């Protein structure tokens, strides 16, 4: 009997060890880590922050790091910007009206942060939270956003009635409004008022809005206009009143008719009060003119939006839009000249960024033999694509064509399931997957540096010496980043571990050497190596993706005196004299 009880107890303990960490859907009871546990890992707490969540249904859904900022999204639609140096909240914005929705990754450029909530696209200034624009997309977003200094790239669902699966919409930034410097104004106030040399900022703001009241869309229905009768005398005589009285009209039932003039249609001539309004002629009275489904608003919210007569902010201009027959799985990856997308049919395709609405073409397209189970990542102009068969592929993001396909730099085998996004450092790439462990590759050649045990699951941070990993049970593992612990087998064992299973929101930091632990109850903890050289965040360890074009300023063509360089004049060949004729 005792043997059976011992066997049952052992089975329970084994199942508990194999159970995953606390799922995100359950409320966490996380508290800041104990100091003694951190000292064993040579870590220290830099700061901790508790974000307010609304009730038990609300929770932290997304945490992302960019440069010296952290952006946190909650299920209720709250976007919070946090300073990663001090842990203080910079600003917070409420998206929508508090309706719960999917939290997709945000995108940033040098000035703005872009976030999508339900069917709206939001743009905020990164460090102030001032709203640049709020744009109605028409359909919900299906994955995260991508942005460069000129545009924001959205993957959206198809509009009602349209064929296809997904569409890619690219919106340009709003044109900046130049503001004149008052210190450079002319000294003479009368001269300034008499001659206006520079445009007013108010005029530039008005240019953002579309003109209204001057141009009307041409209708396919004929207009009924009144033709003046040339021979008819004015009503009331030449010197009398020109306003007709009720007695002059032949009938008080509309349409009203004055002499030989064309009748003026009244409201009861219109067959229906529903748009589009038409004046049905006698010749076409039996022709059905039922409005199509596209005229009727798709929802009550759309009807209210159409009936809203309040002034609206200028929308971002649409650069181009492209519909696809396959679904886009992950956020787009950008290079200086292309936008890369991964579809559900194992296809990787690239579109030119500098396209127009009339000409959107696919520049590169290739289909892999295996599925792509995780989002690819970009470092510089190189894309790292994980495949379901355990292969990690490094491809060039600026070369390739439709005829030759993608340009593969190297391929490496991870030896297991590869369903996590790769983690890229300065000279190494880490591939990971469920029950497959972590594999460290050389970033330039793809050679294997070391492998971990199968229990390691996800890389969440690194510095010059160590790499920090979480396993499926929520344990925090520290590995040597440069070399394996067993050189003969190329295997690496953790140097230390701690149980942080209550932190159930994974945060992958590729912006600095800091390590972040987050829980869905709003607790966020920032950790760093206890070594003194890491007192200041190190940000030059990770190659940032190159997404914007390099604009050449006019300083490279200057000489040492600051004047433009002049090209040397070509040498003149001596003129050949023709011999004189006798």
pLDDT for 237-252, tens place per residue? 444 445 444 445 556 5
Query: What average pLDDT does this structure show over 241-270?
Result: 54
Average pLDDT over the chain, rounded to whole? 79
Q: Which of 79-83, 162-166, 304-308, 531-535 has the highest mean pLDDT?
A: 79-83
385: domain CATH number is: 2.130.10.10
Instruction: Kindly state whether residue 165 falls inside one of the protein's structural domains.
Output: yes
Number of domains in the chain: 1
pLDDT band at 301 (very low <50, low <70, confident <90, very high): low
User: 24, exposed or middle or buried, with CB in 10 Å at 0-12, 13-18, 19+?
Assistant: middle
Pick from 41-50, 156-165, 555-564: least confident: 555-564
- Residue 33 near residue 500, CB atoms below 8 Å: yes
Segment 435-488, tens digit of pLDDT: 889 999 999 999 999 999 988 989 999 999 999 999 988 899 999 999 999 988
Q: What pLDDT is attached to residue 562?
A: 42
Query: What average pLDDT does this structure show over 8-25?
Result: 48
Q: What pLDDT is attached to residue 544?
A: 83
Q: Which of 90-99, 171-180, 377-386 has the highest mean pLDDT?
A: 377-386
Query: What average pLDDT does this structure show over 170-198?
Result: 65
Pick from 98-102, 255-259, 308-312: least confident: 255-259
Instruction: Kindly state whether residue 456 falls inside one of the protein's structural domains.
Output: yes
Higher-confidence residue: 364 or 197?
A: 364
* β-strand partners of 468: 461, 478
Instruction: Kindly state whether residue 458 falls inside one of the protein's structural domains.
Output: yes
- The kind and range of the H/E element at 189 are helix 189-194
Q: What pLDDT is attached to residue 189?
A: 53
Look at residue 313 and tell me whether its pLDDT is greater than 90. Answer: no
Q: What percent of the chain shows pLDDT beyond 70?
A: 68
Ordered strands of the 423-424 beta sheet: 423-424, 428-432, 438-442, 448-451
- The kind and range of the H/E element at 95 are none
Q: Which of 46, 48, 127 is nearest to 91 (CA)?
A: 127
Instruction: Kindly state whether residue 357 falls inside one of the protein's structural domains.
Output: yes
CA 333 vs. chain centroid, Å, equals 10
The encoded tokens of residue 504 equal: 């159930």
Q: What pLDDT is attached to residue 577?
A: 56
Domain coverage including residue 458: 35-48+57-177+314-534
Segment 388-412, tens digit of pLDDT: 999 999 999 999 999 999 999 999 9
- Residue 397 near residue 335, CB atoms below 8 Å: yes
Q: What pLDDT is attached to residue 498?
A: 94
Task: Specify the pairing of strand 107-108 against strand 112-117.
Answer: antiparallel
Q: For residue 224, how many C-alpha atoms fall within 13 Å in the half-sphere facing its CB?
A: 14
Give the span between the Cα atoms of 78 and 60, in whole angstroms: 9
Instruction: Kindly state whether residue 553 falls inside one of the protein's structural domains.
Output: no
Q: What pLDDT is attached to residue 273?
A: 54
Look at residue 376 and tell me whether its pLDDT is greater than 70. Answer: yes
Sequence-distant (6+) residues with CB within 8 A of 582 are: none
3-state secondary structure of 536: coil
Gyration radius of the chain's alpha carbons: 34
Instruction: Kindly state whether residue 242 falls inside one of the protein's structural domains.
Output: no
Cα dihedral sign, 354-356-357-363: negative
- Residue 498 near residue 492, CB atoms below 8 Å: no
The residue with tokens 């450092």 is 425
Q: Which of 458, 369, 396 is nearest to 422 (CA)?
A: 458
Give the span between the Cα atoms of 239 and 507, in whole angstroms: 87
Pick from 366-370, 546-550, 575-579: least confident: 575-579
Segment 34-69, tens digit of pLDDT: 999 999 999 999 999 999 887 778 899 999 999 999
Higher-confidence residue: 273 or 433?
A: 433
Look at residue 219 and tell me whether its pLDDT is greater than 50. Answer: no
Instruction: Kindly state whether residue 569 falls inside one of the protein's structural domains.
Output: no
CB atoms within 10 A of CB 556: 7
pLDDT band at 221 (very low <50, low <70, confident <90, very high): very low
Segment 414-431, tens digit of pLDDT: 988 889 999 999 899 999
Give the span between the Cα atoms of 155 and 146, in whole angstroms: 9
183: alpha, beta or left? (left if phi > 0; alpha if psi -120 to 50) = alpha
**pTM for the whole structure:** 0.72
Pick from 8-22, 389-403, 537-551: least confident: 8-22
How far is residue 400 from each of residues 326, 381, 404, 444, measured CA to CA in Å? 21, 13, 6, 19
Q: What pLDDT is attached to residue 342?
A: 96
Instruction: Kindly state whether residue 250 falls inside one of the protein's structural domains.
Output: no
């Amino acid at each position: 009997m005792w043997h059976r009880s011992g066997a049952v107890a052992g089975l329970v303990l084994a199942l508990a060890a194999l159970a995953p960490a606390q799922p995100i859907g359950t409320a966490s009871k996380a508290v800041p880590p104990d100091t003694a546990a951190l000292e064993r890992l040579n870590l220290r707490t830099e700061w901790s922050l508790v974000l307010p969540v609304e009730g038990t249904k609300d929770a932290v859904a997304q945490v992302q790091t960019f440069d010296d900022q952290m952006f946190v999204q909650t299920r209720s639609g709250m976007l919070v910007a946090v300073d990663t140096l001090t842990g203080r909240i910079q600003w917070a914005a409420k998206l929508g009206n508090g309706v719960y929705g999917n939290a997709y990754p945000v995108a940033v450029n040098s000035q703005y942060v872009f976030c999508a909530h339900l069917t709206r696209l939001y743009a905020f200034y990164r460090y102030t939270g001032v709203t640049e624009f709020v744009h109605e997309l028409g359909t919900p977003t299906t994955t995260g956003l991508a942005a460069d200094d000129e545009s924001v790239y959205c993957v959206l669902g198809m509009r009602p009635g349209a064929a296809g699966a997904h569409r890619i919409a690219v919106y340009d930034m709003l044109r900046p409004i130049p503001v004149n410097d008052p210190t450079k104004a002319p000294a003479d106030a009368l001269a300034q008022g008499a001659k206006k040399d520079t445009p007013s900022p108010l005029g530039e703001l008005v240019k953002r809005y579309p003109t209204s009241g001057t141009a009307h869309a041409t209708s396919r229905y004929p207009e009924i206009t009144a033709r003046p009768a040339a021979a008819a005398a004015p009503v009331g005589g030449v010197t009398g009143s020109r306003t007709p009285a009720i007695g002059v009209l032949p009938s008080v039932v509309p349409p009203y008719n004055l002499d030989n003039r064309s009748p003026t249609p009244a409201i009861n001539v219109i067959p229906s009060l529903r748009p589009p309004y038409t004046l049905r002629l006698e010749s076409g009275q039996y022709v059905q003119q039922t409005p199509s489904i596209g005229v009727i608003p798709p929802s009550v919210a759309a009807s209210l939006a159409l009936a809203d007569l309040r002034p609206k902010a200028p929308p971002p201009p649409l650069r181009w839009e492209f519909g696809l027959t396959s679904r886009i799985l992950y956020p787009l990856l950008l290079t200086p000249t292309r936008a890369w997308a991964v579809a559900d049919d194992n296809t990787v395709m690239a579109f030119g960024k500098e396209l127009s609405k009339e000409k959107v073409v696919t520049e590169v397209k290739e289909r892999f033999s295996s599925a792509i189970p995780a989002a690819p990542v970009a470092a510089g102009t190189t894309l790292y694509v994980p495949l379901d068969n355990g292969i990690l592929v490094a491809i060039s993001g600026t070369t390739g064509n439709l005829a030759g396909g993608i340009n593969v730099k190297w391929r490496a085998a991870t030896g297991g399931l590869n369903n996590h996004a790769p983690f890229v450092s300065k000279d190494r790439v880490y591939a990971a997957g469920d029950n497959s462990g972590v594999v460290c590759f050389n970033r330039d050649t793809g050679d294997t540096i070391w492998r971990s045990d199968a229990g390691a699951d996800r890389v969440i941070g690194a510095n010059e010496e160590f790499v920090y990993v979480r396993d499926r049970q929520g344990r925090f593992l520290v590995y040597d980043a440069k070399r394996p612990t067993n050189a003969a087998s190329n295997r690496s064992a953790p140097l230390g571990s701690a149980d942080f299973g209550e932190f159930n929101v994974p945060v992958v930091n590729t912006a600095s050497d800091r390590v972040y632990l987050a829980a869905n109850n709003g607790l966020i903890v920032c950790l760093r190596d206890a070594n003194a050289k890491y007192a200041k965040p190190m940000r030059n360890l990770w190659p940032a993706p190159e997404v914007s074009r390099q604009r050449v300023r006019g300083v490279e063509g200057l000489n040492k005196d600051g004047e433009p360089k002049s090209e040397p004049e070509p040498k003149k060949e001596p003129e050949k004299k023709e011999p004189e004729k006798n």
